[in-house]
Copies of this chain bind each other. A is one copy, B any other.
Amino acid sequence: MTANQTPTLKVSKSTRIGWIGTGVMGRSMCGHLIEAGYQTTVYNRSPEKSDELVACGATRVASPADVARSSDVVFTIVGFPSDVESVILGADGVLAGASPGCVVVDMTTSKPSLAVEIDRRARQVGVHSVDAPVSGGDLGARNAALSIMIGGDAVVVDAIDPLLRLMGKTIVHQGPAGSGQHTKMVNQTLIAAGMIAVCEGMLYAEKVGLNVETVLQSVSSGAAGSWSLSNLAPRMVAGDFEPGFYVEHFIKDMGIALDEAARVNLCLPGLALAHQLYQAVAAQGNRKKGTQALLLALKKLNGTESQ
């Protein structure tokens, strides 16, 4: 079968699910599918991270290819594009084990160009590919309230919609292969300079002697308001720099967005500045902190002592 012979894709209660990547996000998301009654096969590089799902009824196997051999729809959500490449395109990857008609859905935030390449390689073996990165974090994953940004063929995206609805609330098909990843890059670009804004606003307030919490009462709900301000500024005030969303993952995402922008000849000075400032966050040893740790870097930049 080739991708031109559109299959009669349909998800039913007997659809066999595969899940690769059972970190903080993947564990919650896969858990919703298991709870809904789907027979599920899981793989994770560190096997112990899938213990919880196995206890809930999932079957653990030894490789991504083995997952694909037992599944009709395989989801992947791993760390970096190199991991995506390995678990899908590698010698022991999903495409090595998948039967024609299988659907592979990569939910990692990864390169749009890699999503296009996966789609091309999947078509060669009669497999359907969808890129479907998410936004909403750990909490969104737990509450099945993620925003899922989707690239791929409409017929395939429609077919897996009942599964996506078990994990997300805002589910939007953005276009052909790579469009989900591109949309996620827009999302990260919005967050990037937005985080500079939040940290600089707080730094200014502190430095001129205002009470930052009182300032937040004035500025949070108006034209200066943002998700980052409402959700991360209070953590910064409380001195809480735990992730949330890891600095190192955000740096990866901004790097991808800048690469893609360069590829299409696009100058994005705010994104570039954010990328550089987050490099400073990493340089200061805060790679594993939450993205709100940008405040610490800006404080150091300004010679202010901080934790």
Question: Measuring CB to CB, which residues of chain A are less than 8 angstroms from any residue of chain B?
Answer: 112, 135-137, 140, 147, 149, 170, 172, 174-175, 179, 182-183, 185-194, 196-198, 200-205, 207-211, 214-215, 217-219, 221-229, 231, 245, 257, 260-261, 264-271, 273-274, 277, 301-303
Do A174 and B214 have beta carbons less than 8 Å apart?
yes
- Which of the residues B136, B192, B264 comes within 8 Å of A222, measured between beta carbons? B136
- Name which residue of chain B comes closest to A134, CB basis: B222
* Chain A at the B interface: SS class: helix
Q: Which residues of B contact A303 (CB under 8 A)?
A: 265
- Name which residue of chain B comes closest to A133, CB basis: B218
Do B137 and A223 have beta carbons less than 8 Å apart?
yes
From A149, A229, A270, A302, name the one whose CB has the most chain B CB atoms within 10 angstroms: A270
Do B172 and A214 have beta carbons less than 8 Å apart?
yes
A268 to B260 CA separation, bound complex (whole angstroms): 27
A179 to B209 CA separation, bound complex (whole angstroms): 9
A210 to B149 CA separation, bound complex (whole angstroms): 12
- Which of the residues B191, B204, B217 comes within 8 Å of A170, measured between beta carbons? B217
Known contacts A218-B147, A229-B190; decide if A211 and B137 are in contact (CB<8 Å): no
Q: Which residues of B contact A201 (CB under 8 A)?
A: 186-187, 189-190
A265 to B257 CA separation, bound complex (whole angstroms): 33
Known contacts A175-B210, A185-B204; decide if A194 and B224 are in contact (CB<8 Å): yes
Do A194 and B191 have beta carbons less than 8 Å apart?
no
Do B267 and A301 have beta carbons less than 8 Å apart?
yes
Do B175 and A257 have beta carbons less than 8 Å apart?
no
Do B172 and A204 have beta carbons less than 8 Å apart?
no
A189 to B270 CA separation, bound complex (whole angstroms): 14
A149 to B302 CA separation, bound complex (whole angstroms): 26
Would you list the 5 A-B pairs with minimal beta carbon distance, nearest first? Answer: A196-B270, A193-B197, A226-B226, A190-B224, A190-B201
Do B301 and A172 have beta carbons less than 8 Å apart?
no
Do B222 and A187 have beta carbons less than 8 Å apart?
yes
What's the least CB distance linking A60 to chain B, in Å?
32
Do A205 and B186 have beta carbons less than 8 Å apart?
yes
Do A208 and B170 have beta carbons less than 8 Å apart?
no
- Which of the residues B112, B136, B211, B223 comes within 8 Å of A187, measured between beta carbons? B223
Do B191 and A223 have beta carbons less than 8 Å apart?
yes
Do B266 and A218 have beta carbons less than 8 Å apart?
no
Q: Which residues of B contact A270 (CB under 8 A)?
A: 193, 196-197, 200, 270, 273-274
Known contacts A175-B210, A226-B225; decide if A149 and B191 are in contact (CB<8 Å): no
- Which of the residues B223, B260, B271 comes within 8 Å of A135, measured between beta carbons? B223
Q: Which residues of B contact A186 (CB under 8 A)?
A: 201-202, 204-205, 210, 215, 219, 224
Do B197 and A189 have beta carbons less than 8 Å apart?
yes
A182 to B229 CA separation, bound complex (whole angstroms): 18
6 pairs of residues in contact across A and B, judged by CB atoms under 8 Å: A136-B223, A183-B218, A193-B193, A197-B270, A226-B226, A226-B228
